[in-house]
């Protein structure tokens, strides 16, 4: 089942000619999720051909570079005769401000928009095979991060073993795989654990939004396949990162290391580094053994199963 991330905007608070403000698009089996919607997000959706069928928007905090794209995006959805509801998840205490953005200039969207306030540990959204959890971040605004965490998948079904045990190919196979014991014609009972392996972990993506390093980021998901972390600054401005409630690339890498992340995407680059971002990668690689990268707007990433 494909799980794809598209980086719509990777800039910090001020966009550059190369980078849009924050926006992360995630597509999973026909379902489309958006994490933050900085100014210009709708044009990024068009440029990168993702489509507009977003059902859930997860807002990390209400700084302009994460939400000013909402009014334009909703207006275009309305122009396109959207009828499907949109859920917007956002930190506790932001409903009133968010509503004023949703109904900007008195324009109410023609489709239902539901605002869901969330805090640390809440399941913001529960889908069939995964959930999106909110977790605490440390920023100079009411803020949360989000983790998309898939459920464990069934263990592998050992066909050869089942046939050896005399199970006839057919419905008994699916029963066993679904966890039920089956009785054979000669009266033998075959149990699922004889032919089905251990449950296999699903995939997970953690997105911090703007934050200082926090332990909640480490704890929200077990060894995430992808951690998308605030890396606004490099070491040269570590004091600035602390003061403005952001992280350095090195700090992001330390969190990735402790979380056991597979890959680390460094996000929210300060416009001070436009055109010379080498230090971020170098410094992150000094502490993190996994794959580190600095996504450009439009970069796409397929997340494969850990056991694939
Ligand atoms: Zn920001
Ligand atoms: Zn911010």
**Residue 139 is labelled as binding a ligand:** yes
Whether 268 has a binding-site annotation, put simply, is yes
Question: Does 229 belong to an annotated binding site?
Answer: no
Could you report the per-residue pLDDT of 138-150, keeping only the tens digit for each? Answer: 999 999 999 999 9
Measured CA distances, 139 to 12, 143, 144, 232, 276 (Å): 14, 6, 9, 13, 26
- Residue written as token pair 């909110």: 134
Rounded mean pLDDT of 149-174?
A: 93
Active site residue 65: yes
Q: How far is the CA of 139 from the centre of ligand 2 (A)?
A: 7
The span from the CA of 258 to the CA of 55, in Å, is 32
User: Rounded to the nearest whole angstrom, what is the distance from the C-alpha of residue 10 to the centroid of ligand 1?
Assistant: 10
Which tens digits make up the pLDDT trace of 94-127?
Answer: 999 999 999 999 989 999 999 999 999 999 999 9
Contacts of 231 (CB under 8 A, 6+ apart): 247, 248, 249, 251, 252, 266, 267, 268, 269, 280, 284, 294
Which residues, 6 or more positions from 282, have their beta carbon under 8 angstroms from its beta carbon? none
Is 280 assigned a ligand-binding role in the annotation? Answer: no
Mean pLDDT of the chain: 96
Taking a C-beta distance cutoff of 8 angstroms, is the pair 40, 16 a contact?
A: no
**DSSP helix/strand/coil, 47:** helix
Query: For 54-58, 178-182, 210-214, which range has the lowest pLDDT when averaged over its residues?
Result: 178-182
Query: Where do the domains of the chain lie, and which CATH numbers do they carry?
Result: 3-153+200-302 (3.60.15.10), 159-194 (no CATH)
CA of 62 to the centre of ligand 2 (A): 7
Model confidence at 277: pLDDT above 80? no
Give the integer Cα–Cα distance in Å for 274 and 35.
23
State yes or no: pLDDT of 233 exceeds 90.
yes
CB 258 within 8 A of CB 227: no
> What is the arithmetic mean of pLDDT over 157-167?
93
Retrieve residue 52's tokens. 């507009």
Residues with CB under 5 A from ligand 1 (ion): 63, 65, 210
H or E stretch covering 89: strand 86-91
CB 53 within 8 A of CB 32: yes
Looking at 36, 65, 138, 230, which residue is catalytic?
65
With a cut of 80, say whether residue 174 has pLDDT above it.
yes
- For residue 64, the CA-to-ligand 1 centroid distance in Å is 7
- Is the pLDDT score of 278 beyond 90? no
Stated as kind and residue range, the H or E segment containing 264 is strand 263-267
DSSP H or E run through 54: strand 54-58
299 known ligand binder:
no
């Amino acid at each position: 089942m494909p799980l794809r991330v598209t980086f719509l905007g990777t800039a910090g608070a001020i966009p550059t000619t190369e980078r849009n403000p924050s926006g992360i698009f995630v597509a999973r089996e026909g379902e489309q999720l958006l994490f933050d919607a900085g100014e210009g997000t709708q044009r990024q959706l068009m440029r990168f051909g993702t489509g507009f069928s977003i059902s859930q928007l997860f807002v990390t905090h209400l700084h302009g570079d994460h939400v000013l794209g909402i009014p334009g995006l909703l207006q275009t959805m309305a122009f396109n005769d959207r009828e499907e509801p949109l859920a917007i998840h956002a930190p506790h205490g932001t409903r009133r401000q968010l509503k004023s953005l949703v109904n900007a200039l008195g324009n109410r969207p023609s489709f239902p928009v539901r605002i869901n306030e969330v805090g640390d540990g809440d399941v913001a959204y529960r889908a069939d095979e995964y959930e999106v959890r909110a977790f605490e971040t440390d920023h100079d605004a009411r803020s949360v991060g989000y983790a998309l965490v898939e459920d464990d998948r069934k263990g592998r079904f050992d066909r050869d073993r089942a046939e050896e045990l005399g199970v006839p190919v057919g419905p008994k196979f699916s029963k066993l795989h679904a966890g039920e014991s089956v009785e054979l014609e000669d009266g033998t009972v075959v149990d699922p654990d004889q032919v089905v392996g251990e449950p296999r972990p699903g995939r997970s993506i953690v997105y911090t939004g703007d934050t200082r390093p926090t332990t909640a980021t480490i704890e929200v998901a077990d060894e995430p396949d992808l951690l998308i972390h605030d890396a606004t600054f490099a070491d040269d401005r570590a004091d600035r990162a602390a003061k403005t409630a952001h992280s350095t690339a090195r700090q992001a890498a330390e969190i990735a290391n402790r979380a056991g992340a597979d890959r680390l995407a460094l996000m929210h680059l300060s416009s001070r580094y436009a055109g010379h971002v080498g230090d971020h990668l170098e410094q992150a690689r000094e502490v993190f053994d996994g794959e580190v990268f600095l996504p450009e707007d439009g970069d796409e990433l397929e997340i494969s199963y850990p056991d694939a």
